């Protein structure tokens, strides 16, 4: 049996394999451009490349997506600092401070600080992921279907609670997603459900098609049909990036460590992701600051805390994906799709069946964050040019890529039709403020939840108490119920306070 | 991804409440219909087991309960709460003619790809889409549509070997003709 260090060495060799390394580099480039262009986003880029990863092995596919993930999460800060336009909602706190620093004349240093602290956060979180995942996977190997059901249930509950203002809307979206996952042949009994005699529906609705439609096409339709949309003024500058000195970074070490901690913990919570990590870290930093009133006027701690947390969440989100098969964020949910496309079930068995692949992913992520510094340094100055590409043209080509991507899954036009219909649905979901991430996680996690649930019921002869008799399963379910019920009590308490005042 | 916008207050009224409840009500009745449909499809009972339709029916019940929760949120919110149907009033206005046109284009390109083949369908789609979204320079439209389509064909048909739809009848021959001219096949 090879030790962890031996697998890391194999992972290092595999990472520098020409195909794998080129996938990391390509992914970083795509991620940086997609993350920086408002409306495209890192998540859309991962969704768009997903169908094409079917043509490659699972490791290069994941390295490509990890490259996009790592590059995309920080790239939105570049346009935020330069033009006051965050590339993604997660980059809003960085924009608050970064653009003010730009106005004060520190644009080069702000870009450099964002890049370096993002790289530090990403690298350290990848290191944490490398160290924490194997023991976590060993514990997960002792799980039965009851524990897995409880973990998936926790994942679904977390999505509902975190980051949504309307619990009702989130629940509706979630259950619609789970319902969509039931269409087609049932895994346990082999019975067609909601197929209405249609051959197309009997094969089920491919979640990749739903992803592409809801995210990419829905977003394009919304962006291009909004009246009176404001577009930030583009500066005719090609700024250089100036990296901070070691002493400057050392002075911000506490901020970096806090951002990293928040990023990893929040990133590991299913449904949270980089956006929540970014705002929580910014808020925490403001709380502990001696001068909280200065936040928003161009404060280095604000920029650093946000960027470190964003990149720190990447490693955190990968931990539940690799060890339990539960995605920690929207991006890792799409990566899970890559696993399923290749017929690989993420989870603790990955560490025993294909440890070389797992450690290649670990090392790939470490290397990715180091190369990200170079990608950030050289692309920042070109963004003022790239931002001139008309949004109309980008939107048209995005839809074309979606069409090709949906077709590439099974060479079936039915998938393309579904994608188009879900794209229209995605627009109306945004219009009526029905959140999309719960639907996506519902369609991915729903079938898993059903499978684990029914397997447990069959094994235990419909004895529901098994979920609470097993301690891990019981604790997770109680936490999940608490998460679901907590918002109602919070609202009741808020209403009580309003009535008293 | 777009953010929910904090809505502005609006007067509460019975008719306004019904309008705000229309989305959850619609979803509720669709879920109810599907529940009864699932009951009629459930001819595969397995002794001592929950069966294949237990899970979808349970989810449909939870969906109906969720619609109820949403309805209560809307009914008891003093102003159109975030996430309610009426919050669309405070969202940026939509250019509805352009929306309808773009939706028709998206559906149309899927149909056209099937019938006249990807090259022609994509060329016209790029042109019409950019035109509908506000681009008016004809030379720009022509060059972008043409060069974009050619690049995509080289990338996906020649390099990736993706068998993009060629269309039916005459259009299939036309597509193959384009491929031969472009040295794709």
Cβ of B69 and A176 within 8 Å? no
Name the packing angle between helices A18-36 and A355-379 (round to 10°): 50
Q: List, for residues A466-494, the tens digit of each pLDDT value.
A: 898 888 889 888 888 887 777 777 767 77
Whether the CB of A329 is below 8 Å from some CB of chain B: the reply is: no
Cβ of A166 and B82 within 8 Å? yes
Give the span between the Cα atoms of A144 and A167, in whole angstroms: 30
User: Cα A8 vs. chain centroid, distance in angstroms?
Assistant: 25
Residue A304 has a pLDDT of: 94
Same domain as B61, residue B28: yes
For chain A, the residue count is 501
Is A489 in a helix, a strand, or coil? helix
Domain count, chain A: 1
Distance from CA of B26 to the nearest CA of A (A): 12
Q: Using CB atoms, pick whichever of A166, A423, A462 lies closest to residue B106.
A: A423
A387 confidence band (pLDDT: 50, 70, 90): low
- pTM (two decimals): 0.74
Question: Which B positions 149-168 lie with beta carbon below 8 A of chain A?
Answer: 152, 156, 160, 162-165
Cβ of B44 and A189 within 8 Å? yes
Q: Show which of B89, B122, B153 is a domain's final residue.
A: B89
- Of A171, A81, A425, which is closest to residue B60 (Cα–Cα)? A171
Same domain as B160, residue B102: yes
Q: Which residues of A touch B125 (CB under 8 A)?
A: 396, 399-400
Whether the CB of A171 is below 8 Å from some CB of chain B: the reply is: yes
CA angle A278–A280–A283, rounded 5-degree value: 110
Q: List, for residues A223-236, the tens digit of each pLDDT value.
A: 778 765 544 344 44
| Rg (alpha carbons) of chain A, rounded to whole number | 22
- The dihedral through the CA atoms of A401, A402, A408, A414 has a sign that is negative
Mutation test of the interface with chain B: which of A52, A168, A427, A429, choosing the one with the most B Cβ atoms within 10 A?
Answer: A168
Q: List, for residues B122-139, the tens digit of each pLDDT value.
A: 999 999 988 887 788 889
Whether the CB of B147 is below 8 Å from some CB of chain A: the reply is: no
Same domain as B148, residue B78: no
Cβ of A397 and B126 within 8 Å? yes
Residue A228 has a pLDDT of: 59
How many helices and strands in chain A, by DSSP H and E? 24, 2
| Residue B159 placed within a domain | yes
Given a cut of 60, whether residue A163 has pLDDT beyond it is no
Whether the CB of A499 is below 8 Å from some CB of chain B: the reply is: no
Q: Show which of B59, B89, B119 is a domain's final residue.
A: B89
Cβ of B85 and A167 within 8 Å? no
Given a cut of 90, whether residue A48 has pLDDT beyond it is no
Same domain as B33, residue B103: no
Cβ of B83 and A458 within 8 Å? no
- Of A28, A395, A315, which is closest to residue B106 (Cα–Cα)? A395
Residue A388 has a pLDDT of: 65
Give the span between the Cα atoms of A91 and A307, in whole angstroms: 8
Distance from CA of A459 to the nearest CA of B (A): 10
Given a cut of 90, whether residue A30 has pLDDT beyond it is no
Q: Which residues of B touch A174 (CB under 8 A)?
A: 66
- Please report, for residues A86, A341, B55, the alpha-carbon distance to residue A357 in angstroms, rounded to integers and kept in the order given: 35, 16, 35
Q: In this structure, what token pair is assigned to residue A126?
A: 């990848």
Same domain as B155, residue B115: yes
Q: List, for residues A70-94, the tens digit of each pLDDT value.
A: 888 878 888 788 877 777 778 878 8
Give the span between the Cα atoms of A170 and A438, in whole angstroms: 6
Nearby residues of A377 by Cβ (< 8 Å), 6 or more positions away: A112, A115, A241, A243
| Residue B6 placed within a domain | no
| Residue B7 placed within a domain | no
Q: Which residues of A touch B88 (CB under 8 A)?
A: 431-433
Cβ of B107 and A176 within 8 Å? no
Residue A256 has a pLDDT of: 94
Given a cut of 70, whether residue A411 has pLDDT beyond it is yes
More confident residue, B106 or A45: B106
Mutation test of the interface with chain A: which of B25, B29, B44, B59, choosing the one with the most A Cβ atoms within 10 A?
Answer: B59
| Region for A343 from its dihedrals, namely left if φ exceeds 0, alpha if ψ lies in -120 to 50, beta otherwise | left
Q: What is the pLDDT along chain B (185 residues), one digit of tens a residue?
A: 334 433 344 445 566 777 778 888 999 999 999 999 888 887 777 777 888 899 999 999 999 999 998 998 888 876 554 444 444 444 567 888 888 988 999 999 999 999 999 999 999 999 998 888 778 888 989 999 999 999 999 888 887 778 999 999 899 999 999 999 988 88
Whether the CB of B112 is below 8 Å from some CB of chain A: the reply is: no
Q: Which residue range(s) make up the domain with A485?
A: 4-500
Q: Using CB atoms, pick whichever of A189, A392, A458 lies closest to residue B135.
A: A392
Q: Which helix (H) or strand (E) holds B56?
A: helix B54-76
| Residue B37 placed within a domain | yes
**What's the mean per-residue pLDDT of chain A?**
82
Whether the CB of A236 is below 8 Å from some CB of chain B: the reply is: no
Q: Which helix (H) or strand (E) holds A193?
A: strand A192-193
Residue B172 has a pLDDT of: 93
ipTM: 0.84
Whether the CB of A459 is below 8 Å from some CB of chain B: the reply is: no
Q: Which residues of B touch A178 (CB under 8 A)?
A: 59
Distance from CA of A441 to the nearest CA of B (A): 15
Cβ of A166 and B73 within 8 Å? yes
Secondary structure (DSSP) of A301-358: HHHHHHHHHHHHHHHHHHHHHHHHS--SSHHHHHHHHHHHHTT---STHHHHH-HHHH
Same domain as B102, residue B157: yes
Q: List, for residues A272-318, the tens digit of each pLDDT value.
A: 678 778 888 888 888 888 887 888 888 999 999 999 999 998 888 88
Cβ of A454 and B50 within 8 Å? yes
Q: Using CB atoms, pick whichever of A189, A222, A457 lies closest to residue B52.
A: A189
Q: Show which of B74, B89, B104 is a domain's final residue.
A: B89
Question: Which B positions 18-57 lie with beta carbon below 8 A of chain A?
Answer: 23-24, 27, 34, 37-38, 41, 44, 46, 48-56
Q: Using CB atoms, pick whichever of A171, A193, A390 lies closest to residue B56.
A: A193
Q: Which residue range(s) make up the domain with B157?
A: 96-181
| Residue B135 placed within a domain | yes
Cβ of A224 and B98 within 8 Å? yes
Q: Which residues of B touch A400 (CB under 8 A)?
A: 122, 125-126, 148, 152
Give the span between the Cα atoms of A106 and A486, in whole angstroms: 44
| Phi, psi of B94, rounded to the nearest 5 degrees | -105, 140
| Residue B43 placed within a domain | yes
Same domain as B100, residue B68: no
Specify whether the CB–CB gap between B101 and B95 falls below 8 A: no
Domain count, chain B: 2
């Amino acid at each position: 049996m090879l030790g962890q260090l031996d697998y890391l060495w194999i992972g290092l060799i595999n990472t520098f394999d020409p195909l794998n390394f080129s996938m990391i580099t390509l992914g970083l480039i795509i991620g940086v451009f997609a993350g920086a262009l408002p409306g495209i986003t890192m998540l859309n880029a991962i969704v768009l490349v997903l169908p094409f990863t079917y043509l490659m092995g699972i490791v290069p596919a994941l390295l490509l997506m990890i490259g996009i993930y790592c590059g995309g999460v920080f790239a939105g800060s570049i346009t935020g600092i330069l033009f006051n336009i965050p590339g993604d909602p997660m980059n809003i706190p960085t924009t608050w401070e970064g653009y003010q620093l730009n106005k004060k004349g520190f644009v080069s240093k702000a870009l450099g600080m964002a890049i370096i602290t993002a790289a530090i956060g990403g690298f350290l979180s990848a290191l944490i992921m490398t160290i924490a995942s194997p023991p976590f996977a060993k514990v997960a190997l002792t799980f039965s279907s009851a524990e897995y059901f409880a973990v998936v249930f926790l994942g679904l509950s977390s999505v509902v609670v975190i980051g949504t203002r309307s619990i009702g809307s989130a629940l509706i979206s979630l259950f619609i997603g789970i319902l969509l996952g039931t269409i087609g042949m049932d895994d346990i009994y082999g019975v067609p459900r909601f197929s209405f005699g249609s051959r197309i529906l009997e094969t089920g609705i491919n979640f990749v098609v739903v992803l592409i439609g809801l995210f990419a096409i829905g977003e394009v339709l919304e962006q291009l049909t909004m009246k009176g949309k404001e577009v930030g003024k583009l500066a005719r500058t090609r700024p250089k990036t100036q990296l901070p000195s070691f002493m400057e970074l050392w002075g911000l070490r506490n901020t970096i460590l806090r951002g990293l901690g928040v990023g990893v913990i929040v990133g590991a919570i299913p449904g949270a992701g980089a956006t929540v990590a970014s705002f929580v870290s910014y808020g925490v930093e403001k709380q502990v600051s001696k001068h909280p009133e200065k936040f928003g006027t161009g404060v280095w701690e604000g920029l650093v805390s946000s960027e470190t947390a964003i990149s720190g969440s990447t490693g955190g989100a990968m931990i539940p994906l690799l060890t339990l098969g539960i995605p920690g964020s929207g991006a890792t949910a799409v990566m899970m799709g890559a696993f399923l496309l290749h017929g690989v079930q993420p989870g603790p068995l990955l560490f025993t069946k294909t440890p070389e692949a797992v450690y290649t992913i670990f090392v790939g992520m470490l290397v990715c964050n180091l190369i990200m510094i170079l990608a950030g340094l050289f692309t920042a100055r070109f963004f003022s040019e790239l931002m001139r590409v008309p949004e109309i043209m980008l939107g048209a080509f995005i839809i074309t890529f979606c069409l090709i991507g949906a077709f590439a899954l099974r060479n079936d036009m039915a998938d393309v039709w579904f994608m188009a219909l879900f794209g229209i649905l995605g627009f109306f979901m945004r219009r009526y403020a029905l959140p999309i991430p719960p639907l996506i996680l519902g369609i991915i996690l729903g079938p898993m939840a059903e499978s684990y649930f029914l397997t447990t019921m069959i094994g235990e002869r419909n004895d529901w108490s098994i979920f609470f008799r097993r301690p891990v399963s019981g604790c997770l379910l109680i936490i999940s119920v608490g998460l679901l019920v907590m918002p109602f009590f919070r609202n009741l308490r808020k209403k009580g306070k309003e009535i008293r005042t | 991804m777009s953010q929910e916008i904090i809505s502005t207050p609006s007067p509460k009224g019975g008719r306004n409440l019904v309008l705000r409840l229309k989305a959850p009500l619609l979803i509720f009745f669709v879920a109810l219909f599907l529940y009864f449909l699932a009951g009629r499809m459930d001819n595969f009972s397995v002794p001592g087991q929950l069966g294949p339709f237990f899970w979808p029916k349970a989810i449909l019940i939870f969906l109906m309960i969720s619609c109820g929760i949403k309805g209560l949120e809307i009914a008891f919110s003093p102003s159109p709460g975030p996430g309610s149907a009426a919050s669309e009033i405070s969202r940026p206005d939509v250019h509805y003619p352009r929306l309808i046109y773009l939706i028709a284009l998206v559906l149309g390109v899927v149909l056209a790809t099937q019938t006249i083949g990807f090259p022609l369908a994509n060329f016209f789609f790029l042109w019409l889409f950019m035109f509908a979204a506000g681009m008016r320079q004809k030379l720009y439209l022509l060059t972008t549509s043409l060069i974009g389509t050619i690049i995509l064909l080289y990338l996906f048909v020649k390099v990736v070997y993706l068998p993009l739809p060629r269309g039916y009848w005459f259009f299939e021959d036309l597509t193959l003709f384009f491929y031969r001219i472009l040295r794709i096949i």
